[in-house]
Amino acid sequence: MNRFPEINIELNGVYTQDIILSCSFLETAEKFADIEGTVVLLSGGNLDCSNYHILAAKPWLSIRGYATQMVCKTNQQNIQFSADPFLTLEYFLEKYKQKPATQLPVEAGLFGYLAYDLKDHLEHLPRTSVDDLKLPQICMFAPSILLIQEIKTKKTTLCIPKRIENKQETLHEDLLFFQTMMNKKPADNPGFHGYQQGVTSNFTPENYIESIHKIQEYIASGHIYQVNMSQRFEMEFSGSAFSLFKSLFQSNPAPFFSFIEAGDHQIVSTSPERFIQQTGNRIETRPIKGTRPRGKNHEEDKQMEKQLAESKKDDAELSMIVDLLRNDIGKVCVGGSVRVSQHKRLEAYENVFHLVSIVEGELAPGKSTVDLIKATFPGGSITGCPKIRAMEIIDELEPCRRHIYTGSIGYISFHETMDLSIAIRTATIQDGRLVFSAGGGIVYDSDPEKEFQETLHKGKTLLEVLKNKSTYAAKTDYLWMNGQIIPGKEAKISVSDLGVQYGYGLFETIRVNKSSPAYLPEHLDRFNASWRTIIDPYPPDLTWEEIIQQVIISNRLQDQTAAVKIMATLGSPDTSKGSPHLIVSAKPYVHRLSEKNEKGIHLVTYPEPRQTPLANHKTINYLYYYLAGKYAKEKKGDEALILNPDQTASETNTANIILVKGNIASVPESISVLPGIMASMVCRHLHSIGFEIRKKPIYQQDFFQAEQVILTNSLMGAVPVSTLDKVQLKSTYRLCQQINDHVLK
């Protein structure tokens, strides 16, 4: 524990240069936005904390951590180690400590985020909510390119940390990279698409309001004075996360806009709230409490301002949090230095009014930046009072871990400056989905319905931008279940269903092109045969083609290629005969090769042999194949090659295999293997054009001797394999194209 890595990089000061930009700072930042580790911090509006725009790019060091599992990366090293995240932060800040050369707020340092869930390293707290995002709890980058613009004067300064890596100076390389990027033409706006009408929440309105009642019961019984309660929203998202960030900033500039390109996820934050600022020994925090929506006109605005300013509830709530923060920073500040310089200042934003206070202090000698973070994190304005009990109640009532929401975003310099915002109005984009949370402080006399509405007001900015920019009117999410077309979110299956407990069920995936299902009779024959073997002798008496058409129409997929799935789960063992659940769903299908600049699939051999007679059937007990596919992706492949216990090839995790050599097409012979519908059609076509079809045991070395290795399934048709375990195979696209022209309907 706490064994820190040896990094072969020295830092010897910072090179600075005044720069004249040929385009706006936002457009300049956009040139770097796709580089992993880029962090953009923009300040909008005319408040007194909106002073600088900052671009941090091309990291020479990255630090990520989940629990105590830390990963440190440089250009030459990738080190995994076990350590406390705050001690890790302290280690790197001390290792690369510098003296400032300018009056800029930051010249070199770490940029990124500290997730709310780092609280578990500061206090012993229960963990009963679900971490479904599985993202780093600390994610920080040390940039080699730092661009800082003073907003009022437009003066722009380039800062490059002068480093020695492997005994080589890097300044010339960094300057050349910067100049190359600056000479890039502005990219065409790739846009973004948010399925705004398909937004879901991890609470129903009724459950959220019931949770507020529980908090009020805790307050009445003396557990707590206030709790910040939130709900998390989710929607499908595609396109550019930076385009979303850009649109949000242009429509509603706020003091602490942040964009983080973390590689496997992106963060877009429009926060109005400073968590903690450090300038040498001077400390400042700016808690926000009290919110009202903006009016439709000047008169309504004035009415809302007056209502907020005169609200006894909001005054008490803000005063309570100010006292909490005074206590927090007082732990590390010089005695008597902590003071409230402004209290209950009303600030106007695009969609809401807020009450803000400013608390200041002087960091005590011997106390570090990390000591300050540990004393104050997470910010009291977004937990409650007292803080520890509030965090326990949040974990009890909120079903999902917060991750970035109410954590902190910004920079921690190598020269004793820091500026971190509270991560509210913040979205995380990951794997084609966007999640964001909104909440409010709950006190004894809170109106639960109004508190629920306040969370909607706070999410309005993001939702409105997505609504205005979205290409799609609604999320395609309807399915047929047990005789009815219903919204997908209304589908419910009991946890006692044997399909849920044991994967006891069946499925078929069917390609539907412009409302025409391909090889439907063959799919149904396979489905019914498995039904008779696994469930009972009597398959469902249904007109599946009509059901599929209903689902296609409900999801507006009539003119597209769709992937339709028929699924059956056995049902609960204690229900009457005939209890299986039947479900048909549909979604748009995009061929996997259309998203790549390659014409073939990369295969990776899965090291665990398949040993189950269920391989003869397409059951929903699919975990083995799912893990095989996950293994392949971790090894930078596309598909996993599945082997039998005797080391002969069987199939891949989603496809059947055909090897072609001369005029012979060979398919693997296995004791248990799913009879592929598309594989049968491809073999039928190959036979019709003169190929001999052979079924025989196939070993890995046979792949390298073949003239063509083909994968087939009902969605993608026939696709060539380019590599096996990173070794190049003979591969041409011509034969697969000819096959697809014939077999894809």
Distance CA 524, CA 546 (A): 13
Distance CA 548, CA 527 (A): 15
Supply angle C-alpha 641, 646, 649, rounded to 5: 25
**Sign of torsion over alpha carbons 201, 205, 207, 211:** positive
- 236 alpha carbon, distance to own chain's centre: 11
Strands 266-271 and 426-430: antiparallel
* Residue type at position 51: N
**What b-and-e string marks burial along 243-255, b requiring 16 or more CB atoms within 10 Å of the CB?**
bbbbbbbeebbbb
Structure tokens at 17: 């240069």
Concerning whether 273 is annotated as a catalytic residue, the answer is yes
Taking a C-beta distance cutoff of 8 angstroms, is the pair 87, 401 a contact? no
Task: Write out 635-649 in H/E/C secondary structure.
Answer: CCCCEEEEECCCCCE
Phi/psi of residue 371, each to 5°?
-60, -40
**What b-and-e string marks burial along 76-110, b requiring 16 or more CB atoms within 10 Å of the CB?**
eeeeebebbbbbbbbbbbeebebebeeebbbbbbb
Phi/psi region, residue 538 (left: phi>0; alpha: psi -120 to 50; beta: rest), is: beta
User: Residue 719: which of 729, 707, 701, 734 has the closest Cα?
Assistant: 734
Please confirm whether the linkage preceding 378 is cis (ω < 30° from 0). Answer: yes
Concerning whether 492 is annotated as a catalytic residue, the answer is no
Alpha helices in 440-559 (DSSP H): 448-458, 460-469, 498-502, 520-534, 544-554
* Residue type at position 248: L
Torsion angle defined by CA atoms of residues 386, 391, 392 and 393, in that order, rounded to the nearest 10 degrees: 90
**Which residues, 6+ apart, have CB-to-CB distance to 342 below 8 Å?**
356, 357, 358
Tell me the three state secondary structure of residue 534. Answer: helix
Q: Which of 119, 289, 458, 475 is catalytic?
A: 289
Tell me the three state secondary structure of residue 491. Answer: coil
Q: How many CB atoms lie within 10 A of CB 66?
A: 17
* Residue type at position 195: Y
Q: Which of 165, 273, 284, 522 is catalytic?
A: 273
Distance CA 528, CA 202 (A): 37
Distance CA 192, CA 462 (A): 13
- Residue 12 to residues 77, 161, 595, Cα–Cα distance (Å): 20, 7, 43
Active-site residues, by number, are 273, 289
